[in-house]
Chains A and B, each alone.
Chain A
């Protein structure tokens, strides 16, 4: 059985930052593997370790810079990776769900996996839509916000999963394979890459592909979304701040808490 994991390099923003036009100035960005994808990679690797998956392929849409991040997925156990990038994607502030779907659909068709694992959402654009959109485009079944996957069920051709709903309720669902599952944080404990894994990852393949390689042209990824403004949200804060250093502030907070009867035995 083959498992494909979609991964994305995302930028985290430092506490203090500057906005330049409709993007954040590069100097304030730190790139890392998307938090949700880290759990998706772990889930795939666990399927492999359990002898259920015989191959785990990581797929990303990203510029050359993202290879460093993708290599982390390889270091954690994915067998090889495919990275799609193209001049037509360069400079787009935002890649919409339709464009991502069109690209990933081609890759999945080529790879023909039984299970595709994606993250629930990416921390940067936060659309939370690619996995389900992709499933529909492929004619795969799917489940969104999965926080448990019964490994044994997978071999029978139906994945028994739990979907994490709001308010501490989980939905138990059986999903026919092939399927896309969007993975929620907490489903497992993502491992740290071992030194050996990191060394091995250097020799693993990251195949670069252009839109042309996938049989797509620039029109397929034409964005209908245009980012027209980016700004720091106006603070709605009317908080009273305790100042004067940690000790002084702690003293004032303690007074407030005592006033409210907190800590009084």
Chain B
């Protein structure tokens, strides 16, 4: 026996395996008629608080389900339990560096335990991280980024990957604007530099600002009707 060097042309996208699982998820979602939001942010940008306000406001129209990708604890899911909507928590600490994002496979294992046919809008609450989640499609229809103004104006330029991939940016904690040294115009300019014209909603999950606009966006996207007034 002796060893020979061989070259094998592969031409395989590094994330192809993930993307084909994401496609399988997407087919399941489409079959069940779900509109799926991949919600991404930094840690502490207020995703869970926003979801609480969203659930209070929507009151079951459309019917929301939540897939949580938080690390280990069940705290966030506990906060949402009082709304009695389908919630599943997916463990993201299963691999080397696996704590930093949800991938299509983790979401696949989560949705097998969710009653998809009883859900109109599925919100996938990704792990708080401005980088990794942007790389991994999970089968979503839209990417929504929650951004807290406490993070400063420069983040779109530092982390363009995620900002570029967003279909909607919720600029959260806007109630703190007068107390912070945050230049909203400059931030929005930076946002437009990486993702020109991306829809944005100025919101405060705490004070309730922007919640109606966000819920309207969800209703419109999911094809649900506006509630009768």
Our verdict on whether A and B bind, yes or no, reads: no
